[in-house]
């Protein structure tokens, strides 16, 4: 068998999806492995994307649909890569496909099963802003629109009760408790790693009050709070107080010093957040606290300037001195050193931290399995002195998107397209 005809793609964000579709068009058989129960990656967490404020769903859903309908793409959700042996042109890959306990072919996505489930657990896909059941889809609009059962939490699967509620609710007989975790062996010629990113845990940074003061949010929490399909259906009510904020401070470069690089996207999404806020809360006072503005694609500066003109007051803060957030009477005081070297402060109801983009949290497991090198930050390293920046330390394995370093959508897509060319010219 000629395994050059098969390709493994790990991660189904914009990068993984673009690579999958292109390779399938080129006649390859594609195995697309995604650890979550849905495909689409982080982009589907965003309501709109900078700078043109395209609706993310409108951008990504047609691509997701195309992938799910493509006969040459084998989409494996709730799956991870467990073992890889062999070499370029002839990798043997073991994939651990967890039981979903819902038959994808039979389920219509009607949503009758989850309201009846008695279990409540935190929904980490929604940044823990809301709960989910033991049987769930991470958010409405998930694709494939098929729930998954959390075997640890389901009363029946973890053996604590004879629960049968979801089975009774499902009119299609789609729930199948006999499903087993599977181990699948495949052979592929090349591999693309497109496992994306995670966000820096800011509770480790002192003086920011994250997790201590309910009004302090991370950027991704805010994306979900703002999203129409998110936990509040887009209502900007603050946690605990349920109050609608009248003043908001957006802090740039959070954790930049700690990680040692600029994440390159946060100035833009922080400007986007200011615009979001202005649209929904026209009366609110909005501040963006920055030290440098990094708006490096051709249309970005115009967007940011526009936000600075109409939506938010951009305030310089000296990053040589630490920023501190304290709370008093439900008001958050953000203290910083201003352009004259003087200690200054803004007092607000809500703070949004633009926290650094970091390597995905299980990257280590994957780089061990693939035996490829990481850089000093933990992103996948590229052999830049050889052919270009999608080539990893191991021949036949390529990287695309934020798995290689923080970047915006188009740069992620470009790397995917580049990785495709490398796969197609392998021999």
- Of 110 and 387, the one with the shorter C-beta distance to ligand SF4 is 110
Residue 120: exposure state from Cβ atoms within 10 A (0-12, 13-18, ≥19): exposed
Q: Which residues pair with 313 in a beta bridge?
A: 287
- Interface map 55-84 toward ligand FAD (x if CB under 6 A): -------------------------x----
Torsion, Cα 5 8 9 11, to 10 degrees, reads 160
Reference 378, options 348, 356, 354; nearest CA is: 356
- Minimum CB separation of residue 172 from ligand SF4 in Å reads 4
CA distance 87 to 358: 29
Binding to ligand FAD, residues 32-51 (CB under 6 A): 33-36, 41-43, 46, 49-50
Binding to ligand SF4, residues 172-201 (CB under 6 A): 172, 174-175
CB atoms within 10 A of CB 41: 26
Binding to ligand SF4, residues 269-308 (CB under 6 A): 292, 294
Among 125, 136, 197, 336, binds ligand FAD (CB under 6 A): 197
Helix 266-280, helix 219-226: angle, nearest 10: 30
- Minimum CB separation of residue 178 from ligand FAD in Å reads 25
State whether residue 223 is helix, strand or coil. Answer: helix
- Minimum CB separation of residue 88 from other proteins in Å reads 17
- Of 88 and 112, the one with the shorter C-beta distance to ligand SF4 is 112
- Of 120 and 362, the one with the shorter C-beta distance to ligand FAD is 362
- Minimum CB separation of residue 43 from other proteins in Å reads 9
DSSP string, 272-304: HHHHHHHHH-TT-EEEEEESS----STTHHHHH
Q: What would the two tokens of residue 207 be?
A: 């003086």
Binding to other proteins, residues 374-403 (CB under 8 A): 375, 377, 379, 384-385, 388-390
Q: What would the two tokens of residue 117 be?
A: 């489930």
Among 9, 15, 107, 236, binds ligand FAD (CB under 6 A): 15
Among 32, 33, 63, 202, binds other proteins (CB under 8 A): 63
- Minimum CB separation of residue 68 from other proteins in Å reads 10
DSSP string, 4-72: GGEEEEE--SHHHHHHHHHHHHTT-EEEEE-SSSS-SGGGGG-SEETTTTEEHHHHHHHHHHHHHH-TT
- Residues 6 or more apart whose CB falls under 8 angstroms from that of 41 comprise 11, 12, 13, 14, 15, 16, 17, 196
> Which residues sit at the interface with other proteins, rule CB under 8 A?
14, 18, 22-23, 25-27, 49, 52, 54, 59, 63, 65, 69, 105-106, 108, 110, 171-172, 256, 260-262, 264, 292-302, 316, 339-341, 375, 377, 379, 384-385, 388-390, 405-406, 409-411, 413-422, 424-425
Q: What is the binding site for ligand SF4 (CB under 6 A)?
A: 102, 107-113, 116-119, 133-135, 147, 149, 154-156, 163, 165-166, 169-170, 172, 174-175, 252-253, 256, 262-264, 266-267, 292, 294, 354
């Amino acid at each position: 068998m000629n395994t050059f005809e098969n390709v493994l793609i790990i991660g189904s964000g914009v990068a993984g999806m673009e690579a999958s579709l292109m390779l399938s068009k080129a006649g390859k058989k594609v195995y697309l492995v995604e650890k979550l129960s849905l495909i689409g990656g982080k982009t589907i967490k965003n309501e709109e994307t900078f700078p043109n404020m395209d609706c993310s769903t409108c951008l990504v859903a047609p691509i997701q649909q195309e992938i799910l309908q493509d006969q040459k793409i084998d989409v494996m959700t709730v799956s991870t890569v467990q073992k890889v042996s062999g070499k370029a042109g002839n990798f043997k890959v073991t994939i651990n496909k967890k039981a979903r306990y819902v038959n994808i072919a039979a389920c219509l996505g009607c949503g009758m099963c989850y309201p009846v489930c008695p279990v409540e657990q935190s929904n980490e896909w929604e940044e823990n802003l809301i709960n989910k059941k033991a049987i769930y889809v991470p958010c409405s609009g998930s694709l494939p629109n098929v729930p998954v059962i959390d075997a640890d939490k389901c009363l029946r699967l973890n053996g604590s009760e004879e629960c049968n509620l979801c089975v009774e609710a499902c009119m299609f007989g789609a729930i199948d408790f006999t499903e087993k975790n599977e181990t699948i062996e495949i052979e592929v010629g090349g591999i693309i790693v497109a496992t994306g990113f995670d966000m820096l845990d800011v509770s480790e940074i002192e003086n920011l009050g994250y997790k201590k003061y309910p009004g302090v949010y991370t950027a991704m929490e805010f994306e979900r709070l703002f999203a129409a399909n998110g936990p509040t259906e887009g209502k900007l009510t603050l946690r605990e107080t349920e109050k609608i904020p009248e003043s908001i401070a957006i802090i740039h470069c959070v954790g930049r010093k700690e990680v040692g690089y600029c994440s390159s996207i946060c100035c833009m999404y922080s400007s986007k957040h200011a615009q979001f806020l202005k649209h929904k809360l026209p009366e609110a006072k909005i501040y963006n606290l920055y030290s440098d503005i990094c708006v490096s694609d051709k249309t970005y500066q115009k967007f940011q300037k526009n936000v600075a003109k109409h939506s938010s007051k951009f305030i310089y803060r000296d990053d040589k001195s630490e920023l501190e957030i304290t709370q008093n009477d439900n008001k958050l005081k953000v203290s910083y050193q201003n352009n004259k070297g003087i200690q200054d402060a803004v007092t607000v109801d809500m703070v949004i931290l633009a926290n650094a983009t970091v390597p995905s949290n299980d990257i280590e497991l994957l780089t061990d399995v693939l035996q490829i090198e990481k850089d000093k930050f933990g992103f996948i390293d590229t052999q830049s002195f050889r052919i270009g920046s999608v080539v990893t330390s191991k021949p036949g394995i390529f990287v695309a998107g934020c798995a290689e370093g923080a970047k915006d959508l188009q740069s992620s897509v470009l790397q995917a397209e580049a990785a495709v060319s490398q796969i197609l010219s392998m021999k």
